[in-house]
Amino acid sequence: MNYFDLTEEKLQGSGGYIIAEITDEQAKKADLGVGKLFLAPIGKLEEQNMKKHFCKICEEEFDSPPKIHLEESNREEVADNLVLVERGQYNCQKCNSTIGEYRVFQKQDESQDVGNAKPTNSP
């Protein structure tokens, strides 16, 4: 897989859309099988990869990336082995309404062995 092969896609959010350059891997995550790509499953997009955004409130497409608003950066376990490390929003440059949301997850087992001895007994 070529990680430098970015394609420009329209990514749907609840309050509009973002035109961004994404990798094939991100496109697969964003494709929920309904013929559109969605912002939420991708995770956080880099500001330099976002080219335009459309705001439903302004009914206007802007030739600039949306503002990134960090909502929370607490570590929160959401499932076995899955930790929510960051949550935020993409906001309209003009009216500040939410274009879409993002969540960044981390698998817990990546750091689980650090400082932990392996259990020696099993029930």
Q: Give the footprint of Zn ion on this chain (CB under 5 A).
A: 55, 57-58, 92, 94-95
Nearer residue to Zn ion within complex by CB, 93 or 106: 93
Encoded tokens for 117 = 């001895």
CB of 58 to Zn ion, least distance (A): 3
CA–CA separation, 24 vs 9, rounded Å?
11
Q: How far is the CB of 92 from Zn ion (least distance, A)?
A: 3
- Cβ atoms within 10 Å, residue 43: 14
DSSP 51: E
3-class SS at 24? Answer: helix
CB of 91 to Zn ion, least distance (A): 8
Comparison of 73 and 96: residue with beta carbon closer to Zn ion:
96
Q: Which is nearer to Zn ion, 22 or 66 (CB)?
A: 66
